[in-house]
Structure 1
Amino acid sequence: MTELFYLSATEMLGLLRARQISAVELTEAHLRRIDEVNGQVNAVVTLVADQALAEARVLDDDLARGHWRGPLHGLPIAYKDLTDTAGIRTTYGSPIYAGHVPDTDALVVRRARAAGAITVGKTNTPEFGTGSHTVNEVFGPTRNPYDLTRSAGGSSGGAAAALASGMVPLADGSDMGGSLRNPASFCNVVGLRPTPGRVPDASEIAAWFSLSVSGPMARTVGDAALMMSVISGFAPTSPFAIREDGSGFAGSLECDVAALRVAWSPNLGGLPVDPETAAVTARAPEVLSGLGAKVEQVRLDLSDAEDAFRTYRAWHYANAFGDLPADRLGPNVAWNVEQGRAVTGADLARAERLRSGLFQRMNAFFDTFDILIAPVSQVPPFPIGRPYVTEVAGTPMPDYLAWMRSAYWITMLHAPAASVPCGFTPGGLPVGVQIVGRPWADLTVLKVAHAFERATGHGARRPALGG
């Protein structure tokens, strides 16, 4: 029998609605699981157990009176430590904000709470979400539940590890260069990078910056869609917020896979890929072909994304963090700020031309294909003690960013992209496949991901963790 904390969020909701369990019982089960395994994994870094139980009691009282708060009624959620939570410590993974307690909730928190979600705490992230390895000076590293000597990825590594080890059924994350997708791949869960504007953010310093997005993480595609139905939808705080509400994500994820035209790129145009990762992801086109899709291996050239991404990212870091004390910033953030201060108007103009040309070429590409599939990460989970990957398949990586090109090149397409479990290396390390759709086709991406998940069952494999 599946432990209560490892049921899908959808299954938990069914039990809650049928009064077979209470929100208090469900919350207590997750709090016990956190107590049992978090010391090994270090995924939940701020726990608000008393508050969570108080919220659960209120929700149980609501249900006793016949009031169902919303689609997440009674489900425990932990929010990324970059996501503001009113009255709950939010450090952004930085010693500068080690004691910071926001006055207001971020939009995803407000929407989830209004839908009945119960806040249990915050999940670990590298400083200001910088890098695809979750470690910081405030809380230390988050470990991979499938191998505690390995990285959980990042920057939503705490969220992915908490999900994989049964500490929460749903979590939020954010993604600029792969921070929803990479940890999902490393921890055998699902992460969706939505089309920018699908889950609106609010910023007083970079409202037009579209590379960073918020999105859902879950153990199943259906649960990710459930969370999307709540957190997506128009908000006037974002100048490019999409007008559609989230109701479409609450419907069926069934689709006619046989009608799909799928492009398969094993290396996104020549990127080095670790042989073990390549071997696992090479099975993905066979799965979709077996479901009837027309799959074609393609040769892509996304190399223009490299200069464009690095230029925009550097500019953003100088804008967002350039006024913070340099001597208190970690090396990755400080390096990005330094790079950003060197960006010129000519650099930004070049980046804009490159990104615009890439967008138009991929727009034509998606007239031919419905979906692109590719590796999420170029490597499997790496040793926890390494700050980043320095070599991929014999190719040296020049800096801490380079090994994640397979994710951040996709960022530049303004497209939705999901990481879905694809299998395991011979040593038992998870590997995800990236399913990318045309801009604004988030639901199509989730439907294909759901079909892939159901055909493979890799996401049902749990880590061997216990007290």
Structure 2
Amino acid sequence: MNPFDSAVSLARAVRSRQLSPVELAEAYLRRVDRHDPQLNAFVWRNDEDVLRAAKEAERAVMSGDELPPFHGVPIPVKDLNSVAGQPNTFGSAGTSDAPSEETDLSVERLLDAGFLLMGRTNTPEMGPMSVTENRRYGVTHNPWDPRFSPGGSSGGAAAAVAAGLAPLAQASDGGGSIRMPSSACGLVGLKPSRGRVPMRVPAWEHSATDGAITRHVEDAAAVLDVMSTPDLLGWYHAPVPHRPFADEVGRDAGRLRIGLLLSAPTGVPVDEECVAAATSLARTLEGLGHEVTPVTPRFFSQEAAQAYIELVIPSALHLVSYERPELAEPYLQELRALALTRNIAEYARGMALLHRESREVVAQWGRDFDVLLTPTMACTPPPVGTVVQEKNADPTGFRLTETQMISFTFFANLTGLPAISLPVHRTAAGLPVGAQLVGGPFDEATLIRLAASVEPLYAWTTAVPDGLR
């Protein structure tokens, strides 16, 4: 088997008995043994459970049972998501490693789809960080160059997929945490719309979402189909799509108005390599018949953005119980303390402002353009160790690199719009750089059509870091 094949094709090989689930699991576990000591993508392993589940999956294949779509395909879970019987430490030295008592809804849907849960991947402590480093498990390295970060917070997930340690990986995104690592590691990162993937408690004022990091667009579409089964017990859920997202792969997108934005909404400088990624995709889309026009969209005011940064995220850090809060990263200790200095009236005003401004931002899609094209990040992947060091030195101040990393991604979380990062460029040193497409409300379908149309032109599915083939 080719470890870089799509999960869809691997599942097809399992169903047709060309590939055994046991062979599949053993092959990926061997790759983890071989390559992960240099990457540190995995923080917890359950090899015996995986092999036991693979044997059960093999028996189901041989018995002729009706099989779910991803039967026998391994997938790791990010260490911010709970699985009953597995620890969920949130990447923190100050939390318990006792087994969780319940499984997150998105992970339940992965299990229902036939996936085999294969270990847990690294994340920054509690998630609000654009790189993947913590005091409990250490630094995750970029498979393309271990001196650099794979991004965050789903950096362990991205490193695992980029290195061929898993065909795809469960991930989550509260400000760019699927798209930034996908950009840094040369992968496809689709952030679903608000309410598309069920969560028992929508995190970060409904701005965070679960999803997956993939190499292949067909996987991004097919895994979204299984993760987005509506949860009728939740407060709300996204509209049911007209057809399965997997059916959008290869479908004509029509002629779209694509707005091109190269200046960061935060006003920080944008690296020329990141501009090159977006302009490359712009030229490709023009060549496919779309109308690409420079735009200057309206985004959130500084007051609204600060409400998210200073109210929503610090407050959310109190949802997880620390056994030893003094072991938390200094920046998290300060943010948790900041939440206790604010009052509920400030929080209510901040959320009202975000709701009002979000309506004005979202109104531009369909009116001024159909899809927005941007760089995924305003900088290339930073060296490991630098971003956390900057944040611990000044937790509530301005930090250039971190701001550059989230400048083009965070507004899609605040608005709930779907967005996808595509690996369309490489620096002179060989590091991947992504470009982002942001779709209109609940319109993942258009993003999947566009991504599938350019995938063969960039051939990113066959690009593999040196030494990992």
Structure 2 length normalisation: TM-score?
Answer: 0.91
Aligned positions of 1:93-172 closer than 5 A: 93-172=91-170
Task: State the Cα distance separating 1:267 from its structure 2 match.
Answer: 1.9
Which residue of 1 is the match for residue 454 of structure 2? 452
Which residue of 1 is the match for residue 186 of structure 2? 188
Instruction: Give 1:370's aligned amino acid.
Output: D
CA separation in 2, counterparts of 1:119 and 1:465?
Answer: 26
CA separation in 2, counterparts of 1:253 and 1:312?
Answer: 39
CA separation in 1, counterparts of 2:142 and 2:203?
Answer: 34
Q: Could you tell me whether the CA contact under 8 Å between 1:149 and 1:383 is conserved in 2?
A: yes
CA separation in 2, counterparts of 1:140 and 1:207?
Answer: 25
Say which of 205, 209, 213 aligns to 1:217: 213
Q: What SS does the aligned partner of 1:171 have?
A: strand
| Equivalent residue pairs, number | 459
Instruction: Give 1:234's aligned amino acid.
Output: P
Say which of 222, 241, 246 aligns to 1:226: 222
CA separation in 2, counterparts of 1:349 and 1:105?
Answer: 34
- Seq. identity, %: 31
Which residue of 2 is the match for residue 285 of structure 1? 282
Q: Could you tell me whether the CA contact under 8 Å between 1:81 and 1:92 is conserved in 2?
A: yes
Q: What SS does the aligned partner of 1:143 have?
A: coil
Instruction: Pick which of 305-314 and 413-422 moved more.
Output: 305-314
Deviations 1:26-68 (A, max 9, x none): 1111111111101111101111111111111111111111113
Aligned positions of 1:369-448 closer than 5 A: 369-388=369-388, 397-398=398-399, 401-403=402-404, 404-448=406-450
Deviations 1:129-167 (A, max 9, x none): 120110111110110000011101000000000000001
Q: What SS does the aligned partner of 1:24 have?
A: helix
Deviations 1:440-463 (A, max 9, x none): 111222221222223222343111
CA separation in 2, counterparts of 1:389 and 1:94?
Answer: 16
Which residue of 2 is the match for residue 357 of structure 1? 357
Say which of 46, 56, 59 aligns to 1:58: 56
Q: What SS does the aligned partner of 1:412 have?
A: helix
CA 375–390 in structure 1, closer or farther in 2 if over 3 Å, else same: farther
Deviations 1:414-460 (A, max 9, x none): 20011111210111011111110111111222221222223222343
Task: State the Cα distance separating 1:367 from its structure 2 match.
Answer: 2.4
Instruction: Give 1:171's aligned amino acid.
Output: A
CA 350–88 in structure 1, closer or farther in 2 if over 3 Å, else same: closer
Deviations 1:245-297 (A, max 9, x none): 79612324223345111111012444421122222322111011011101111
Task: State the Cα distance separating 1:95 from its structure 2 match.
Answer: 1.5
Which residue of 2 is the match for residue 298 of structure 1? 295
Which residue of 1 is the match for residue 394 of structure 2? none
Deviations 1:297-343 (A, max 9, x none): 10123242523432443353354258775422212322322332333
Instruction: Pick which of 119-128 and 317-326 moved more.
Output: 317-326
Task: State the Cα distance separating 1:236 from its structure 2 match.
Answer: 3.6
Instruction: Give 2:285's aligned amino acid.
Output: L
Instruction: Pick which of 442-451 and 16-25 moved more.
Output: 442-451
Instruction: Give 1:65's aligned amino acid.
Output: S
Instruction: Pick which of 378-387 and 357-366 moved more.
Output: 357-366
CA separation in 2, counterparts of 1:107 and 1:179?
Answer: 19
CA 295–241 in structure 1, closer or farther in 2 if over 3 Å, else same: same
Task: State the Cα distance separating 1:353 from its structure 2 match.
Answer: 2.1
Q: What SS does the aligned partner of 2:148 have?
A: strand
Q: Could you tell me whether the CA contact under 8 Å between 2:362 and 2:441 is conserved in 1?
A: no
Which residue of 2 is the match for residue 260 of structure 1? 256
RMSD of aligned residue pairs (Cα, Å):
2.4
Q: Could you tell me whether the CA contact under 8 Å between 2:192 and 2:444 is conserved in 1?
A: yes
Structure 1 length normalisation: TM-score?
Answer: 0.92
CA separation in 2, counterparts of 1:433 and 1:338?
Answer: 36
Deviations 1:403-422 (A, max 9, x none): 32221123222200111112
CA separation in 1, counterparts of 2:57 and 2:320?
Answer: 39
CA separation in 2, counterparts of 1:346 and 1:89?
Answer: 35
Which residue of 2 is the match for residue 367 of structure 1? 367
Instruction: Give 2:123's aligned amino acid.
Output: T
CA 295–45 in structure 1, closer or farther in 2 if over 3 Å, else same: same
Q: What SS does the aligned partner of 2:373 have?
A: strand
Instruction: Give 1:398's aligned amino acid.
Output: R
Q: Could you tell me whether the CA contact under 8 Å between 1:318 and 1:341 is conserved in 2?
A: no
Q: What SS does the aligned partner of 2:193 have?
A: coil
CA 322–14 in structure 1, closer or farther in 2 if over 3 Å, else same: closer
Is the counterpart of residue 462 in structure 1 residue 460 in structure 2?
no
Q: Could you tell me whether the CA contact under 8 Å between 2:205 and 2:312 is conserved in 1?
A: no
Gaps of 5+ in 1: none
CA 87–400 in structure 1, closer or farther in 2 if over 3 Å, else same: farther
Gaps of 5+ in 2: 392-396
Q: Could you tell me whether the CA contact under 8 Å between 2:252 and 2:449 is conserved in 1?
A: no
CA separation in 1, counterparts of 2:414 and 2:204?
Answer: 15
CA separation in 1, counterparts of 2:245 and 2:16?
Answer: 23
CA separation in 2, counterparts of 1:60 and 1:195?
Answer: 35
CA separation in 2, counterparts of 1:460 and 1:301?
Answer: 38
Aligned positions of 1:293-332 closer than 5 A: 293-304=290-301, 306-317=305-316, 319-321=318-320, 325-332=324-331
CA separation in 2, counterparts of 1:317 and 1:20?
Answer: 47
CA separation in 2, counterparts of 1:310 and 1:277?
Answer: 25
CA separation in 1, counterparts of 2:313 and 2:31?
Answer: 40
Which residue of 2 is the match for residue 242 of structure 1? 238
